[in-house]
Structure 1
Amino acid sequence: MIIRDDDGRIDILSLSFDELCEQVIAAGEKRFRAAQLYEWLHVKRVESFDKMTNLSTQFRARLGELFCLKSLFIVKRLESHTDNTLKYLYRLPDGNHVESVVMDYNHGTTICISTQVGCKMGCNFCASTIAGFRRDLLPSEMLLQIYTAERDSGRRIGGAVLMGIGEPLDNFDNVVCFLDLLSNEKGMNMSLRHLSLSTCGIVPRIRELASLKLGLTLSISLHATNNETRSSIMPVNKTYRIEELLDACKYYFAQTGRRISFEYALIDGVNDSQKNADELAALLGGFVCHVNIIPVNKIKERNYTSDRKSAQRFRAMLEERGLNATVRRTLGADINAACGQLRREYEI
């Protein structure tokens, strides 16, 4: 993806390998230089062209004229004393801020990254949307959340979830470019089967994503069992109703064979009744899916509450009705690791 900075230079970290080859050849260099350059960028991950020591001084100077090499600055780093979860607040080159969370599991280390600065979707239980939307993140800025976290933490990150600040499918082209960079065998070479993408339900983009057959896990932020309730807490439902969303999910499974994960933020008195369990079982009956129940995060602008006890009770109701359900493990509770909170507190 050819993205230019304000001064006209190309964002080199957002270029695919083939695009980088084209640019290097256009600059009068041999194709093998692109392979060297790509390794410096995505394997060795240097932060300056000057550190690319097997390239001539003249070529490095030319690179600085043609390309910008972005980096993120760690404004704040919080580490949990209970489970080693790390939370980062990054400053972007234009002064905006985003968050990432690094989490250790038995199977390895996963990072939750942001895809936008803020969010347009307006879900009224979410801290990310309250702070407002600024702009989309570039492929390089998504990738750098991983590179910077690995460099700082010393941990090898083997999986990623696009569940941080922003709606990934509202930034579709940049996200798809990022996924291509992330999975490129010449770079980080992460299997997209180790990646989950969470969406509130932008139906046309779900269908477009299905057609790409990338192998990633699709996580749907459902959070309600009927249109009236969902529209009251998630404005996107006024455009794409539950029935249309679930039809797109069936299409995604038919195209990819990948099990759908449905996220369900439990809110006391809103979506936690036996009737809700009955409705959810009726909606998802026949799906190859998993329901991930999440005790709602407390934010000061809302009085929504729930806890793990009520989440476990709701899980039992779903399992009685034949649904595969779990309660999301809480990580980084002592550092408020839920995305959106640190950025919002910092920018207020």
Structure 2
Amino acid sequence: MKKNILDFSYEELVEEFSKFGLEKFRVDQVWDWIFKKKAFDFNGMTNLSKEHRALLSERFYIGIPELLDMQISKIDKTTKFLWQLEDGNTIESVLLFHPDRVTACISSQVGCPVKCAFCATGQSGYVRNLSAGEIVAQVIAMEKERRVNIGNIVYMGMGEPLLNYNEVVKSVRILNHKKGKNISMRRISISTVGIPEKIVQLANDLPEVKLAISLHAPTNYKRDLIIPMNRKYSVEEIIHAVKEYQKITKNRVTFEYILIREFNDFVDDAEKLAELLRGIGAYVNLIPVNPVETDSEIKMERPHHWAIERFKEILDKHNIENEIRREKGTDIDAACGQLRRRHITSRKAKQTK
């Protein structure tokens, strides 16, 4: 049975190639074709002999997902991708364009088990974890489709990365490897709702990788209402893990805070958030909610402009570094999970006809 060559780390592939007599430098050649030249067929790797190409084709395949849909913002070039995997499941990825860099937001799971009230991904259910190769493939497939060089990666697409810990860590190491994408660890971020023991483990395994916490409320009462997993891992436990993480890494931690009108945008919320983050090297991203259809009793409506500014001013007063995130791709389905959800709904509708 053929194996996805992208699921192998460099060291694993060296060992695998040696089993059938291929030298280490052949791994260098193959990775150069895949990661640098975006060649996804062994037959096109012309510096390998025909015999070697045939040998590789017999044992491996290059698991690049099929592009089902791509939306490009006319405003800022933000690009949303819907991919179909080998088993027919779909995932999303996003490219964000900045003046000095291109950032990829990539998925780590098919769907998501966390079911945050404000997220379309969780509303469409959880299917499975992605393999390291399926995670890596999103990056090189986007580069080929849009002819760009991705310099920053954020694990902030579909899924909770720390619930797929081993494959996520493996994919980071593949993307960081000098023979692969060669992306600096410091340009890779992992965003999580907060799984305390995995946060500490991440500090030990990948101390240079950046950490972002999807917090979205400063108290357990409010966080329970929008992030069901908070009932298992409390705000206090997450903050304790962040402090342990910082002892090990000395890294500043980003806190994502989605602002929802008349739910978590009050003065009291801002004051409690500032108190919670006191003494932590923290940076807060304030994100006006992207309205989605949801079963939650909480209405997902954007706060008034003055309420957003008021929240920011309170954090400023307490010397909590923060910014209001500028929206990208407002003219496309840029919120995570929207494209996949629409595709699933459309497919179900066709099946019932």
TM-score (norm 2): 0.93
* 180, 184, 189: which one aligns with 1:196: 189
Gaps of 5+ in 1: 1-7
Partner in structure 1 of residue 302 of structure 2: 306
Deviation at 1:32, TM superposition (A): 2.3
Alpha-carbon contact 2:267-2:310 (below 8 Å) kept: no
- Match for 1:139: what amino acid? A
Alignment of 1:123-142 (within 5 A): 123-142=116-135
Deviation at 1:279, TM superposition (A): 0.9
Partner in structure 1 of residue 320 of structure 2: 323
1:23 pairs with 2:19: no
Deviation at 1:181, TM superposition (A): 0.6
1:111 pairs with 2:104: yes
1:40 pairs with 2:33: yes
Alignment of 1:167-182 (within 5 A): 167-182=160-175
Deviation at 1:308, TM superposition (A): 6.6
Alpha-carbon separation, structure 1, partners of 2:253 and 2:225 = 24
- Match for 2:177: what amino acid? N
Alpha-carbon separation, structure 1, partners of 2:304 and 2:14 = 52
* 38, 45, 50: which one aligns with 1:52: 45
Alignment of 1:176-325 (within 5 A): 176-301=169-294, 303-307=299-303, 309=305, 310-325=307-322
- Match for 1:338: what amino acid? A
Partner in structure 1 of residue 351 of structure 2: none
How many aligned residue pairs are there? 341
Partner in structure 2 of residue 85 of structure 1: 78
Alpha-carbon separation, structure 2, partners of 1:262 and 1:174 = 24
Alpha-carbon separation, structure 2, partners of 1:308 and 1:10 = 52
Match of 1:293, SS? strand
Alpha-carbon contact 2:259-2:265 (below 8 Å) kept: yes
Alpha-carbon separation, structure 1, partners of 2:96 and 2:147 = 13
Partner in structure 2 of residue 335 of structure 1: 332
Match of 1:140, SS? helix
Partner in structure 1 of residue 150 of structure 2: 157
CA RMSD of superposed structures (Å): 1.3
* 62, 66, 71: which one aligns with 2:64: 71
- Match for 2:226: what amino acid? I
Alpha-carbon contact 2:217-2:257 (below 8 Å) kept: yes
* 315, 340, 344: which one aligns with 1:347: 344
Alpha-carbon contact 1:202-1:236 (below 8 Å) kept: no
Deviation at 1:118, TM superposition (A): 0.2
Alpha-carbon separation, structure 1, partners of 2:2 and 2:72 = 36
- Percent of aligned pairs sharing the same letter: 39
Deviation at 1:96, TM superposition (A): 1.0
Partner in structure 1 of residue 350 of structure 2: none
Match of 2:186, SS? helix
- Stretch deviating more after TM superposition (34-43 or 106-115): 34-43
- Match for 2:140: what amino acid? Y
Deviation at 1:229, TM superposition (A): 1.0
- Match for 1:331: what amino acid? K
* 69, 80, 102: which one aligns with 2:95: 102
Alpha-carbon separation, structure 1, partners of 2:148 and 2:61 = 27
TM-score (norm 1): 0.95
Post-superposition Cα deviations, 1:1-45, rounded to whole Å, max 9, x if no partner, equal xxxxxxx32221121111111111101222322222222222223
